[in-house]
Amino acid sequence: MPKVLTQSQVDAYHRDGFVFPIDVMTSAEAASLRSQLEDAESRYPETVNAQNRNNSHVALKCVDEIVHHAGILDAIEDLIGPDILAWGSVLFIKEPDAKSFVSWHQDMTPEAQDARTLNNEHWATMLYKGAAQKRAY
């Protein structure tokens, strides 16, 4: 029996390779984590930037809290079981009205994956409500 997802969502993941949206934390939790990340950005601009975006969960408590968040882990467990390893983390920080973008891409082809493992990625997106309403994506 799934902890977070419905059986229909689990079936959709196994059929389609993705499932969304999934509510994994409250708005207050997301706002608090975002605030902590923004504080780290302002206090350590030479460290929290595009060049140093990999494995930030090792240095930033707020990113570690996302990586180890029970709601996220429970949803992943519903899909692949309890044997979960956080291999790494990557920050893609895009401020509202920024001209930069990350183009559509595929991180890994199925052929590149070992047949005994499942490469699973989860994305935690925290948007300013106003920025999301301001732009039509």
**Which pLDDT tens digit goes with each residue over 73-102?**
898 889 888 888 877 788 777 777 878 776
Give the span between the Cα atoms of 34 and 7, in whole angstroms. Answer: 31
pLDDT at 119 over 80: no
Average pLDDT, integer, range 62-76: 89
According to the model, what pLDDT value does residue 109 have?
54
Examine residue 2 and state whether it is found in any structural domain, yes or no: no
Q: What pTM does this model have?
A: 0.70
Are the C-beta atoms of 17 and 108 separated by less than 8 Å? no
According to the model, what pLDDT value does residue 108 have?
56
Examine residue 111 and state whether it is found in any structural domain, yes or no: yes
Return the structure tokens found at 68. 């180890």
Domain that holds residue 87: 7-134
Return the structure tokens found at 22. 């999934």
Examine residue 129 and state whether it is found in any structural domain, yes or no: yes
Examine residue 1 and state whether it is found in any structural domain, yes or no: no
Are the C-beta atoms of 57 and 86 separated by less than 8 Å? yes
pLDDT at 40 over 50: yes
121 pLDDT band (50/70/90 cuts)? low
Count of domains observed in the chain: 1
Examine residue 21 and state whether it is found in any structural domain, yes or no: yes
Identify any residues that bridge with 70 across adjacent strands, giving them in sequence order.
Answer: none
Examine residue 27 and state whether it is found in any structural domain, yes or no: yes
Examine residue 33 and state whether it is found in any structural domain, yes or no: yes
128 pLDDT band (50/70/90 cuts)? very low
According to the model, what pLDDT value does residue 105 have?
61
